Amino acid sequence: MGVAIQQLLRRCGTLSHIKQLQAHLITTGLYPCTRSVFVEFCAATSSCYAAHIFRHIPPITNDWNAIIRGLAQSLQPADALTFYRQGLRLLSCKPDALTCSFTLKACARALASNEAFQIHSQVVRYGFIADVLLQTTLLDAYAKAGYLEDARKLFDEMPVRDVTCWNAIIAGLAQGNRPDEALQLFKRMKDVGFTPNEITVLGALSACAQLGMVREGQNVYNYIKTQNLDTNEQVCNVVMDMFGKCGHVAKAYQVFNSMRCDKTVVTFNTMIMVLGTNGEGIEALKLFNQMSKEGFRPDHVSYLSALCACNHSGMVDEGVQLFETMTSGSSSVVPTIKHYGTMVDLLGRSGRLNEAYSIISSIPIAPDVVLWQTLLGACKTYGDVEMAEKASRKLVEMGSHSDGELVLLSNIYAARHRWKDVGEVRETMRNKQVKKVPGFSYIDVKGVIHKFVNGDKSHSNLQKKLEEIMCRIMEHGYVPETGYVLHDIGQEEKEHALSYHSEKLALAFGLIETSDDETLRVNKNLRICGDCHEVMKLVSKVYEREIVVRDRTRFHRFEKGLCSCKDFW
């Protein structure tokens, strides 16, 4: 009966249809046994009418639960929390474990941490804490709201665990910037006898991608194949993404070509983005064109991925042509702010600042602060003070108060030795208590992550190695690019400051600790500076080592004195 009612409900396109079905159920005597299913559907689609129904029937827990469940699945999950409170306070409803579970699911979707804590206390008070499914839902709510310590504490104290709770904590840690813990739990889960499923491996792959740990990622992929989880399209897409974020394009392409499930537009989009972020712009555009030949219609993500590929590879003309195709009406894709932002970035990086400015000024939708921030960043690259001041004024008019904007403007003035202007900007920064984000890098050596911070001089062995590196690359023409040290200090001090950038420290450590034929893989939280970029190129030539650096936005693959970005980043 319930299935038949659900099928009928899915055919109700308007509130009028819902009322007609309700009238039919009442007149045929079916309403009492189908009411919970009916009100749950109403709550997910028309919360006001569901509340109206509930006010005119006896306050039965099953009906209350049904409405909370429906609201938790709706576009406004926070409404479920309001209805839960109203039921307790006004209607004297008595919650059961399902009531708390559905309300916690609403907390997870609404990222309502305070409410989750309150429900937790009620779960304990009502004696539901032994319910494993309820504990898992609570764990998921904490993890999604970012309260990872509470989620981990709850997980560690659970006397009984199932695969759902392992998945919740692994996904929460991976999404909460604690990928190393996520991987540890993934391994522990297998050790204690649980079998990871599709959801588990998605969290583990995300953690590997964040850390750039391709060995661990390969191990997860091997497990996926042994368990036949590679028949799941989403899993394959995430495997491709993981290999791409670890800088292994060939392995990502191998997964793409050997998929045991049907490809979708999302599959093509993922592979195009992998190629693009790794500097394989030509291959990315080939695959973009191949989509149509295989019967797939590119969507807005397809175009965005292809434009990003042009951006990362310096393919300005190709990017402009692609954008014109998208906006000419020959495609059904309407450009979003992200498409315009990518074009501003592409033109800005190539020095075509006036064209980038024209795009921002003429787009049919209101430009957001990111567009002007992107232009401001390009102004720094090309030292265009006048355009930078235009962008800065626009940002002020829009009420933007980003710390990074002041840092950029200060750096632009400093590069032109306009120390008076630098002083004024830095005074504003001091008044706002603006601090630069500290740069750090890490490198995976033999499965262990080693982290380095800008300016760290505590490693005497690294100091000696850095001196050796600088001497050797200077013999091949290296001249420190001190313009990237934007302070009014002496030349020698600037050169010394450059030597202790975190990516150089990670590089030196890698050269010491790895064999001569091993690729060095460095991850950096910020954009790599021009001097470090030049050093990496020369080291790859002088030491005959392949070096892969993943910075905030893209990959740089250095080999034989060249970079995959073709010095366009």
Buried b (16+ CB within 10 A) or exposed e, 454-474: beeeeeeebeebbeebbeebe
The Cα–Cα gap between 141 and 198 comes to 20
365 in Cβ contact with 337 (< 8 Å): yes
**pLDDT value, residue 492:** 44
385 in Cβ contact with 413 (< 8 Å): yes
245 in Cβ contact with 550 (< 8 Å): yes
Phi-psi category of residue 544: left, alpha or beta, with phi > 0 → left and psi -120 to 50 → alpha? left
**pLDDT value, residue 69:** 86
The interaxial angle of helices 47-55 and 61-72, nearest 10 deg, is 170
Could you tell me the residue ranges of all domains in the chain?
A: 1-127, 161-262, 263-335, 455-563
569 in Cβ contact with 529 (< 8 Å): no
Q: How far does CA 399 lie from the centroid of its chain?
A: 26
Q: Which residues have CB under 8 Å from 559's CB, separation 6+?
A: 540, 546, 547
**pLDDT value, residue 438:** 79
- The tokens for 156 are 């560690």
For the domain covering 161-262, report its CATH number.
1.25.40
| Side chain identity at residue 120, one-letter code | H
37 in Cβ contact with 50 (< 8 Å): no
Digit-by-digit pLDDT tens for the chain (569 residues) are 556 766 666 666 667 776 776 676 677 766 666 677 777 776 777 667 667 667 666 667 888 888 888 888 888 888 889 888 888 877 677 888 899 999 999 998 888 888 889 889 988 888 888 888 888 889 988 888 888 999 999 999 888 888 989 999 999 999 888 898 999 999 999 999 999 999 999 999 999 998 888 889 999 999 999 999 999 999 999 999 999 998 899 999 999 999 999 999 999 999 999 999 888 999 999 999 999 899 999 999 999 999 999 998 889 999 999 999 988 877 778 899 999 999 999 999 899 999 999 999 988 888 888 899 899 888 888 888 889 889 888 887 887 766 677 777 887 887 777 888 888 877 877 777 666 677 899 898 887 889 999 888 777 788 899 999 999 999 999 888 755 454 443 444 444 566 788 999 999 999 999 999 999 999 998 888 888 999 999 999 999 999 999 988 788 989 999 998 888 77
The Cα–Cα gap between 401 and 368 comes to 13
**pLDDT value, residue 75:** 84
Phi-psi category of residue 456: left, alpha or beta, with phi > 0 → left and psi -120 to 50 → alpha? beta
Burial of 366: CB neighbours in 10 Å, binned 0-12, 13-18, 19+: exposed
**pLDDT value, residue 41:** 73
Phi-psi category of residue 92: left, alpha or beta, with phi > 0 → left and psi -120 to 50 → alpha? left
For tokens 């973009």, name the residue.
Answer: 288
> What pTM does this model have?
0.77
**pLDDT value, residue 319:** 96
What is the spatial order of strands in the sheet that 562-563 belongs to? 448-453, 440-445, 520-524, 547-550, 555-559, 562-563
Q: Which residues have CB under 8 Å from 212's CB, separation 6+?
A: 245, 246, 247, 444, 521, 523, 550
**pLDDT value, residue 497:** 60
